[in-house]
Amino acid sequence: MAGATIKRDPRFFWFWRIISPAVAVVMLVNAKLMLLTSVVSMQGPGAGYSGAAVYVNWHKYVPFLCIHHGRYRRWLLMSSAPYLEPIARWCNWLGLTVVRGSPGERSRESLGLLIESLKRGESVVLAADGPAGPPFRAKIGCVDLARAANVPIIPVAYRSRKGKSNLKRWDQLYTVRKFDQVEVFYGNPVFLDSSEPDTTALERVQRGLEEVSACAQGKSVSEN
C-alpha cells in the first residue's frame, strides 16, 4: 500500500523528478545497446502507411515500442502518474514527444496537443488498454482521438527470439534483450466512419489489436 502511495501520490513527484535522470540514463544505454546488437524488422499491411495515424498497442508491448516509435519521432500519450517521470524522460531522449495525461484522465489540454500534431501530419502512439487496464480491452480514447483528427488507427505488436512476458504483471509486460531478433507487426489501418457508432468502431479496433497480437504470437485469432 505504501509503495502504491509513493508511486501515485503527487506529493512524491519531487522524488521521481530527482531520480529520473539517473534512471533514464541507464534505460537509454540499455536501449541503445539493444538496438546496436539486435536485428529489427517490420512487416504487415500498416507498416508502409505514410500518413498521420494513431498507432495503438496493448500495454504489454510498451517497452520496445517506445524505442521503435522514437526512431520515427512520434508523439506518445503517457499517464501523468508521478512514478512515470523517469520513463517520460527516457522516452523524450529516445525521440518521442511525450504528452502526459491519458484519455481516461480526460485531459483536454493533452488531447488538444495530440490532435494538433495529427493535423500537422505527425503520428501519435498510445496503449489502448492503458494506463492500468483492464488488460487487452481497448478503450474509447483512441477512437475519440482518431476521429477528432480524421486519421486512421493502426494496431502494432511485436515478438522477439529472446523475448519474455512477465506473467505476474497485470499487462504481462513483454521485454526484449540484447543480441535479439525483433519483428514488429503493423496491422491493417482502421479507418473510422463518422456515422459509425462508438461501440462498433471500438470493436473494430479491438479486433485489429487481437489480430496483430495473434500474428506476433504465431497464433490464429481464435486461439488468442
Task: Give residue-wise pLDDT tens across range 47-66.
Answer: 999 999 999 999 999 999 99
Quick check: 184 pLDDT over 70?
A: yes
Question: Quick one: average pLDDT of 137-147?
Answer: 95
> What's the structural domain count of the chain?
1
Asked if 37 and 179 count as a contact pair (C-beta separation under 8 A), the reply is yes
Strand order in the sheet with 124-127: 39-43, 181-186, 153-160, 54-57, 124-127, 75-78, 97-100
**Cell 514488429 found at:** 184
Instruction: Please report the pLDDT score of residue 114 as a whole number.
Output: 95
pLDDT band at 1 (very low <50, low <70, confident <90, very high): very low
Instruction: Please report the pLDDT score of residue 79 as a whole number.
Output: 86
Question: Quick one: average pLDDT of 80-88?
Answer: 91
82: domain CATH number is 3.40.1010.10
Q: How far apart are CA 74 and CA 57, in angstroms?
A: 14
Q: How far apart are CA 154 and CA 140, in angstroms?
A: 14
Instruction: Please report the pLDDT score of residue 13 as a whole number.
Output: 78
Quick check: 3 pLDDT over 90?
A: no
Residues spanned by the domain of 125 = 2-223
Q: How far apart are CA 145 and CA 150, in angstroms?
A: 8
Q: How far apart are CA 48 and CA 91, in angstroms?
A: 23
Quick check: 36 pLDDT over 80?
A: yes
Instruction: Please report the pLDDT score of residue 2 as a whole number.
Output: 47
